[in-house]
Chain A
Amino acid sequence: QQPVQSPQAVILREGEDAVINCSSSKALYSVHWYRQKHGEAPVFLMILLKGGEQKGHEKISASFNEKKQQSSLYLTASQLSYSGTYFCGTESWGAGNMLTFGGGTRLMVKP
């Protein structure tokens, strides 16, 4: 079962903040975040592991609430380059090596 992302879409002005949420009905081992620009492949942003470890490339922060099986991605002082569709992917206990993605959150940053 796919995780649920909210909101489905958000429009921001440059410099504004946004939060994207990801919720699962399953016990999670890890949560992954990817960004996809129009016409391109998804690009890795961050992994959050059970126990608090984070791995990421960019200055984007996120949280992982293991008890609630939820994760949130925080985009602060948004830039035009943040525009795209954000996907969370979840890895569940007992689900082998599958990464299940949510339906995506479309983010548009305007000047």
Chain B
Amino acid sequence: EAQVTQNPRYLITVTGKKLTVTCSQNMNHEYMSWYRQDPGLGLRQIYYSMNVEVTDKGDVPEGYKVSRKEKRNFPLILESPSPNQTSLYFCASSPTRVYTGELFFGEGSRLTVL
């Protein structure tokens, strides 16, 4: 089944404790992206990647890191999480390089930073 898989789905952590949210897609998509969703603010793009080893900042990259060492994986790293990073995070992928294609979203990862 074609899908985008995120882990963990739910996480409660404390300020400063490094964490990684994994994202994997099995559709051989070139484009991958991370969004955070907060009430009233919609989906805001954190980082995106056009291909292996190519990543770019979105609208809200501060406090996050990403890497794209393999085509299928695009992990989101919070080196020192803070409470303002409490949010619902979505990973998404798309088949097209120059983006005019449908985004396929993962099921989301709800992160709480205490």
Q: Interface on A for B, CB 8 Å cutoff?
A: 2, 5, 29-30, 32, 34, 40-44, 47, 49, 55, 87, 89, 91, 96-104
The answer to whether B48 touches A101 (Cβ under 8 A) is no
Contact of B59 among A41, A55, A97, A100 (CB under 8 A): A100
Residues 57-114 (chain B) with a chain A CB within 8 angstroms: 58-59, 90, 97-108
Please indicate the chain B residues that have their CB under 8 angstroms from the CB of A89 in the complex: 43
Q: A47-B102, A98-B59 are in contact. Are A104 and B42 (CB under 8 A)?
A: yes
The answer to whether A44 touches B108 (Cβ under 8 A) is no
B36 CB to closest chain A CB (Å) equals 11
Does B50 sit within 8 A of A, measured CB to CB? yes
Contact of B103 among A2, A29, A44, A96 (CB under 8 A): A44
A97 CB to closest chain B CB (Å) equals 4
User: Besides A42-B90, A44-B103, A99-B45, 6 other CB < 8 A contacts?
Assistant: A5-B42, A29-B100, A97-B97, A99-B33, A101-B43, A104-B40
Residue of B33, B50, B58, B102 most packed against chain A (CB within 10 A): B102
Please indicate the chain A residues that have their CB under 8 angstroms from the CB of B34 in the complex: none
The complex places the Cα of A91 from the Cα of B45 at a distance, in Å, of 12
The complex places the Cα of A47 from the Cα of B100 at a distance, in Å, of 8
The complex places the Cα of A5 from the Cα of B97 at a distance, in Å, of 27
A12 CB to closest chain B CB (Å) equals 21
Contact of A91 among B40, B44, B56, B99 (CB under 8 A): B99
The answer to whether B44 touches A101 (Cβ under 8 A) is yes
